[in-house]
A = this chain, B = another copy of it.
Amino acid sequence: MATLKDVANAAGVSVSTVSIALKHDPRVKETTKRKILEIVDQLGYRPNGIARDLKMKSTQTMAVLLHDLGGPFYSELVTGVQDVALAYDYSPIISCSIGGKGVALKRLLLENRVDGAIILDPYIEESFIRRVASPSLPIVLLDRDIDLPYVYRVTSDHEGGAYEVVSHLIEKGYQRIAFVGGPQRSFDNQLRFNGYKKAMESQGKAVDSRLIFAGDFTEKSGYALGLSLGGSDKLPDAIFAANDEMAIGLLRALSELGLKIPQDIALAGFDDIRLSQYTVPKLTSVHQPMYELGIVATQILFRALNGDSKIEPVVLSTQLMIRDST
């Protein structure tokens, strides 16, 4: 692998001349520059970014840490991130923690291989985030509620979205509206539950604990719950599932039990994953602005990178997608 020095030697000039010549610095004569470029080509010289990063103390790279790539919105999120990063001449690199035992995490964040990070991963521990966040490594945290220095927050309005969809159910005249939640410790889930609760209470409906069920955000858990629910005698007349995966599981189970949706029981989800437009009936859901989330998160990261530390948490509005299941 040819280095700057090799090029310099071959061209009969010094490394510094080559270095600046490659930046098209006007200080170097046209003729020498041309010669240098020729040799670069001939030797197949490629700059060593690592050496450059070391010298510059900057990588022009930011990490986007996702739990897994399977989720339906990551693509949109990353597109948003990229659109902003590009303008700053930064490259986002994506890493998913699942299965990686945190090796990549450590390499990227703990060992200064990136200038900043955007994290959407409920499984990365708060202690780790606390440890790595610093003025030289600001972190934007999505969908989590952790208040730490050098950590900035952006989230969708889970509570508002849930409030809206449940209000919609109430308006439609449904009386006994069940909530099928995800993991208790999930921040999103809590907010969605809060929205459910507030919507119910604002209509003078007390939250009935017999109408609260817990799944784990998987389709499977929704399916299981749907089977037991559908078989019980006191069926609710509507269900708000805290995410679409579970809603789809519920839908499948209830349909198999011969229940008509929404006539026998209405069903709404959250996330607006692609599948919800294809189920029969199409699923009412709440859309999260993932692209905007990516945009905003990245903008905030750059503000922090530029020394701005007074950044308030941002909450982005969701959008209710009314379809045929309600």
A: residues with CB less than 8 A from B are 1, 46-54, 59-61, 68-70, 74-75, 78-79, 82-83, 86, 89, 91-96, 98-101, 103-104, 107-108, 110-113, 136, 248, 274-275, 278-280
Query: What B residues does A98 contact at CB under 8 A?
Result: 79, 82
Q: Is the CB of A95 within 8 A of B94?
A: yes
**A/B interface sample: 24 pairs, CB < 8 A:** A46-B111, A47-B110, A48-B111, A49-B111, A49-B113, A50-B50, A50-B54, A50-B59, A50-B111, A68-B79, A69-B69, A69-B75, A82-B100, A83-B99, A86-B100, A86-B103, A89-B103, A91-B104, A92-B104, A93-B93, A93-B104, A93-B108, A94-B94, A94-B96
Closest B-chain residue to A104, C-beta based? B91
How far apart sit A280 and B276, CA to CA, in the bound complex (Å)?
13
The majority secondary structure among interface residues of chain A is mixed
Q: Is the CB of A51 within 8 A of B54?
A: yes
Q: Is the CB of A91 within 8 A of B78?
A: no
Closest B-chain residue to A47, C-beta based? B111
Q: Is the CB of B103 within 8 A of A91?
A: yes
Number of copies: 2
Closest B-chain residue to A46, C-beta based? B110
The one of B68, B75, B104, B278 that contacts A278, using a Cβ cutoff of 8 Å = B278
Q: Is the CB of A136 within 8 A of B70?
A: no
Q: Is the CB of A68 within 8 A of B60?
A: no
How far apart sit A52 and B83, CA to CA, in the bound complex (Å)?
31
How far apart sit A103 and B61, CA to CA, in the bound complex (Å)?
11
How far apart sit A279 and B60, CA to CA, in the bound complex (Å)?
44
Chain B nearest Cβ from A312, distance in angstroms: 27
Chain B nearest Cβ from A137, distance in angstroms: 9
How far apart sit A230 and B104, CA to CA, in the bound complex (Å)?
51
Chain B nearest Cβ from A102, distance in angstroms: 10
Query: What B residues does A93 contact at CB under 8 A?
Result: 93-95, 104, 108
Chain B nearest Cβ from A264, distance in angstroms: 19
How far apart sit A48 and B51, CA to CA, in the bound complex (Å)?
12
How far apart sit A92 and B107, CA to CA, in the bound complex (Å)?
11
Query: What B residues does A46 contact at CB under 8 A?
Result: 110-112
How far apart sit A309 and B274, CA to CA, in the bound complex (Å)?
43
Apart from A46-B111, A50-B111, A86-B100, what are 16 other A-B pairs with CB-CB below 8 Å? A1-B112, A50-B50, A50-B53, A50-B112, A50-B113, A51-B54, A60-B107, A68-B79, A69-B75, A79-B98, A82-B99, A91-B103, A92-B104, A93-B104, A274-B275, A280-B280
